[in-house]
Each structure stands twice: as structure tokens, then as C-alpha cells.
Chain A
Amino acid sequence: MNFHAGPVAIVTKLFFTVLYGVPLLWIVLTSFKDSADVFEPSSALLFEPTAQAYTRNVNSNLIDALGQSVAIAVGATVLVLLISVPAAYALARVTHWSVTVGLIALIVLQMMPQTAMVIPLFRLFGDWGLLDSLAGVIIADAALLTPFATLLLRPFFRAVPMSLEESGALDGAGLFRTFWLIVLPLARNGVLTISSITFLLAWGEFLYAVSFMLSPGGYPLSALLSQQVSAFGIDWPGLMALAVLTSIPILIVFISSYRLLRDGLTVGAVK
């Protein structure tokens, strides 16, 4: 096979490496700069590193925001799993008009602009007492991510051989036992894939958090970052330090689930 990289391929790879590497590099470099060095071309790459931006930012507010981020991302992931795992199984296995309707509904809901959902949710959450509470943000995030997770998971259940389920049924296992003991373990990779994607997306979500949390005290890290970046007179090293801190959990989840993400996304993406 002719897999030798020609000059065109090398230039292309160089282009993408720079395009995606430089922003990452710049976040990290800037977070270790002094405010005076930020826009100084002579100290773009060579400068005296300082951890001031970090020490200035790590305070009790940041710890609170970290706690909110963890609660929201974990809560939304658990809720999405509870809803989408059984739904994806039914959608993969049953032929019925309601399944077709369900699939169409999920595809449409997956595409809805979040900015359109936030307006009626804000009004309804006001009535239901869900404003300014973790539960409100978790529910809204779960409603946002469930369609995507369910559609991504469905092909994993379709790949489980039907014959295994039938032998389970012959052995006298009921509906839920068959699902729990036979089907679910075989769709394990799918469940892990949607768990990490849901966690990543919920961790980064900020519009619901900013809109439903009525004071910055309840903001998760992503929302805090979104408010600081649009503020006037930005403290760039501080902002980039906050960006690094926000990204560290993403890096951990990414490293532990990269293979699943790489292979799982392509399975479900176009199905």
C-alpha cells in the first residue's frame, strides 16, 4: 500500500498541527505570564514565568465553582444515562410506530437551538421553583443532551445479537433481567462512550448555568469563565489560568476515554 506521506501531506499535517496546537500552547503560556508581558511581542515565547495568575485565582469562589461544575456534570451524566440507556435499547429492538415517532422526535430535539430552549425554560422553571438551583441546571442539561446520547447509543444495542436475548428468555429470565444481565454488559462500550461525552458537554455548558443561576455565587467554572471573558478590561493571564483549570478535568476524562471517543463517535455519528 502506498502510505508514504508526500510533501503535500506533510504540509497539510503541519498546517493542522499549528492550527490546533498554537491555541493550546497560547492558553498555557499566557496563564504563566505577567500582565505586562501579555501583548509584548518580544516576550511572546521567552518570558519569566510566574504563577501569579493561578495564585490570584485560586480562592474560595473558585473552589465553590469547581464544586458546582462537578455536581452539574455528574448529575447530568447520571440522569442522561438513566433515561437514554433504556430508551436506546427499546429504539434499537422494537418495530412499532411509536419507535419511529421517537426517533424523529429525538433527531429534531437534538437540533433545537439552545438559545430558543432557554427562554421558555426560564419561565417554566420560575413557576416550578427550579430557578437558582442545581436541580434546574441538571434537568435542563439532561434534556439538552439526552437526544444526542440516545441516538449515539442505539447502534451499540443493535450490534448485540438477538439470539442471546432469546436464549435468556428461554432460560426464564424476565424483561429486566435479560436487559440488565445480558444486553447491558455487551453494550458496555456504548454506555461508557456516552457517559464521557455527556460529562464533557455538561462540564462545558454555560448558557443554562448563567441564565438559571441568579447570582454568580452558584456558577460553575464554565459560566464563570464566560462572564470574565466578556467583561471589560480583561485580565488575560487570569482568564487563561481559569481556562487551564477548567480544562484539567476535561484532559483527565479525555485521556481515559480517548479510544472510546475516537471509535464510538464515528459509530453513532452518521447512523
Chain B
Amino acid sequence: MTTAPLTTPRSRRGFQNSRRHLVFLIPAAAFMAAFAVYPLLQLAWMSVHDVTQATLNVPGWEFVGLENFIRGFTAGESAAAVNRTLVVVAVVTTAGMLLGFVAAIAMRTSGWWSAALLALMVFVWALPPVVNGSVWKFLLAERGLFNTVLGALGLDTLPFLYDPQWALISVASVAAFAVIPFNALVFRAALMAIPPEVFEAAAVDGASKFQEIRFIMVPAVRGTTLVLFVLTVVYGFRSFDYIYVMTFGGPGTATATLPFLGYLQAFNRYDYGLGSATSFLAVVGVLALAGAYAWTIRREERT
């Protein structure tokens, strides 16, 4: 792209328009203020009030300060939910990043299999989470496909969705399964951007496949990895679809992560104040992650 020959002050960086163009931002600003920012303020407001099913749409809630938060940690399960969230984030991020990268390397080669596999994975990614969640609930059922295969191999069946520990790992793994195609797609694009000459030179030097990965591909996707890492952490943190569909937070509350616990408290136990407090903690967690993301992007754009 050539730079514009016009030397008006506003085109000095090549992509600027006048401030009149800010009028294009108005619909989005108004809409998001009303239906996203204002609700978030409402959530914060509800978290410091006593709000129940009966008082939800009645003005004049009783102010209770931090009582909802304290109740969440003493009588509720906020601390346990934080731990569960960390487990889910760890599983989703580790599996999502590693397997996404491995899949990208495998699908870098040209050929019908790579193309078909990529299309298959993107299609599964595009399916509604309820569809993926339903089939995994079926595959992991007591007598589902996984346990049938284990039985055929002479092994003990596993309580994938019935044992508290297994259930948490299962829902986290399915969430990872759903994010791997996206990560593979992004990694693959970064790998395709490596000039072919680099691989030719490596071949001349007699580099092994492993050395190609270690010394060419891994460094080449570094920037992508950083950004994708934060996105995957956030995805794992906020994911609730598979929990809702596969376990609904159970058995007991074994799979109630922080965002899902807030939902349960509000919509299943009708304690909207407590649910708001728990959800507010989740929002604070996201704000911290967003800060990390902005920092990563700025660093990447500078280099």
C-alpha cells in the first residue's frame, strides 16, 4: 500500500480521519453503555444489598455492605469455587495451547487430509456448545463409549461425570476440546507465515523434524502464543456452557466454578445478592486478566 500523496495534517500517519468520524461510534457507545456497562454497575450495586426473589423488582433494597461477600466465603463456597476455577483454567489452558499447537503443526502440510481435518475441527468449533456438551455427556456416561472401550480393553470403568474430581476434569477437558480448533487455526496461520526458505535452509543443514519445531516454529509463533495464552485463560475462566449441560455444577457442587456458582446462587437458590457478590468476584478476576491482555498486546504492537 502506498502512502497518500496528500499532506494534510490529518493524514500524517496514513490512516487517520477527522474527528467528525467519531459520530460512527455513537450507536455502539450508547448501546453498550445501556446494555453492558450499566448492567455491570447494577451487578456491583446488587452485590452490596440484600436482594431476594421477592424484592428483586421492588425499590429500596437493604444495604448490607460486604455481608454477601463474607457470607460467600464463610457459609458459601466461594473459596472452593475459586480453586475449581483454577483447575479448569489450568486444564483448558494447558491442553488448549499444547494440543492446538500440535494440531497446527500436523495440519501445516498440504494435502487433502490436512484440509479436511481443519474443516472438521472448525465445524465442531462452530457447533452450539449444547450440541457438543450433549454428545460428550453421552460419550462419558456410565455405560457410554469411553467406558465401553475401557471395558473391552479389560480395564475398570471410570466415573467420568459421577465422581467429584473426575467430573471437574471431564468438563474442563470438554471445554478444552472446544477451544483447540480455534487455537490450531490461529497457530496454523502463524506457521504459514514463515518463509519457505527458512525450512529449505534448515533442510540443507540437516535439521531434524524436532529441531525444525524447536528452533523455527516455536520462536516464530511466540507473539501469537502470548496473545492466545491470555485469550485461552479467559475462555477457561468464563466457560459455563459445558458445566451447565454436562453436570449443572454437580455432583453436589463439585463443578461449580466461580462464574457458575454465582449463576446457581441467583437463579437456583434465588439469592440474587449472594449471586451478585460471587459474580462480582468473577468480574474482578476478568478485569485482572484484561489488564494482562492489554499489556501483552501493547508489547506485541511495539515490537
A binds B: yes
Consensus secondary structure, chain A interface: helix
Query: Is A20 a contact partner of B27 (Cβ separation < 8 A)?
Result: no
The 4 closest A-B pairs by CB, nearest first: A204-B128, A87-B28, A266-B189, A116-B279
The residue in B13, B196, B246, B266 that gathers the most chain A C-beta atoms within 10 A of its C-beta is B266
Across the interface, which residues of A come within 8 angstroms of B246, CB to CB? 229
Determine how close the nearest CB of chain B comes to the CB of A10; give it in whole angstroms.
9
Query: Is B27 a contact partner of A87 (Cβ separation < 8 A)?
Result: yes
Query: Is B39 a contact partner of A124 (Cβ separation < 8 A)?
Result: yes
Across the interface, which residues of A come within 8 angstroms of B38, CB to CB? 124
Query: Is B117 a contact partner of A17 (Cβ separation < 8 A)?
Result: yes
A193 lies within 8 A of chain B by Cβ: no
Across the interface, which residues of B come within 8 angstroms of A1, CB to CB? 196, 199-200, 203
Determine how close the nearest CB of chain B comes to the CB of A174; give it in whole angstroms.
10
Across the interface, which residues of B come within 8 angstroms of A46, CB to CB? none
Across the interface, which residues of A come within 8 angstroms of B117, CB to CB? 13, 16-17, 20
Query: Is B21 a contact partner of A222 (Cβ separation < 8 A)?
Result: no
Contact of A161 among B1, B123, B209, B231 (CB under 8 A): B1
Interface residues of A in 95-121 (CB under 8 A from B): 95-96, 98-99, 102, 104-109, 111-121
Distance, CA A39 to CA B105, complexed state (A):
37
Distance, CA A107 to CA B114, complexed state (A):
33
Query: Is B113 a contact partner of A109 (Cβ separation < 8 A)?
Result: no
Query: Is B259 a contact partner of A127 (Cβ separation < 8 A)?
Result: no
Query: Is B148 a contact partner of A250 (Cβ separation < 8 A)?
Result: no
- 30 residue pairs bridging A and B, Cβ less than 8 Å apart: A1-B199, A1-B203, A2-B203, A17-B117, A20-B120, A20-B181, A23-B124, A23-B136, A26-B139, A27-B131, A27-B135, A83-B28, A83-B31, A105-B37, A115-B262, A116-B283, A119-B263, A119-B266, A119-B267, A119-B279, A120-B40, A162-B4, A163-B2, A175-B23, A226-B244, A230-B248, A246-B131, A262-B118, A262-B119, A269-B228
Determine how close the nearest CB of chain A comes to the CB of B112; give it in whole angstroms.
11
Distance, CA A108 to CA B277, complexed state (A):
19
B211 lies within 8 A of chain A by Cβ: no
Interface residues of A in 17-63 (CB under 8 A from B): 17, 19-24, 26-27, 30, 39, 41, 44
Q: Which residue of B lies closest to A224 (CB)?
A: B130
Query: Is A44 a contact partner of B145 (Cβ separation < 8 A)?
Result: yes
- Mark contacts of B22-37 with chain A using CB atoms, 8 A cut-off: 1 yes-contact digit, 0 otherwise: 1111011101100111
Binding site for B on A (CB under 8 A): 1-6, 8-9, 12-13, 16-17, 19-24, 26-27, 30, 39, 41, 44, 82-84, 86-87, 89-96, 98-99, 102, 104-109, 111-124, 126-127, 139-140, 142-143, 146-147, 150, 158, 161-163, 165-166, 175, 179, 200, 203-204, 206-207, 211, 222, 225-226, 229-230, 236, 239-240, 243, 246-247, 250-251, 253-254, 258, 261-262, 265-266, 269-270
Contact of A87 among B25, B196, B267 (CB under 8 A): B25
Distance, CA A140 to CA B196, complexed state (A):
46
Distance, CA A266 to CA B1, complexed state (A):
21
Determine how close the nearest CB of chain B comes to the CB of A18; give it in whole angstroms.
11
Known: A112-B238, A269-B182. 12 other contacts (CB 8 A): A17-B120, A91-B25, A105-B32, A143-B32, A147-B32, A147-B36, A162-B17, A175-B21, A200-B126, A226-B130, A230-B248, A243-B131
Across the interface, which residues of B come within 8 angstroms of A104, CB to CB? 294
- Mark contacts of B264-283 with chain A using CB atoms, 8 A cut-off: 1 yes-contact digit, 0 otherwise: 00110000100110011011
Determine how close the nearest CB of chain A comes to the CB of B98; give it in whole angstroms.
12
B302 lies within 8 A of chain A by Cβ: no
Given known contacts A158-B15, A250-B127, A3 and B109 CB-to-CB distance under 8 angstroms: yes
Distance, CA A42 to CA B29, complexed state (A):
59
B111 lies within 8 A of chain A by Cβ: yes
Determine how close the nearest CB of chain A comes to the CB of B24; give it in whole angstroms.
4
Query: Is B130 a contact partner of A222 (Cβ separation < 8 A)?
Result: yes
Contact of B107 among A13, A105, A203, A230 (CB under 8 A): A13
B303 lies within 8 A of chain A by Cβ: no
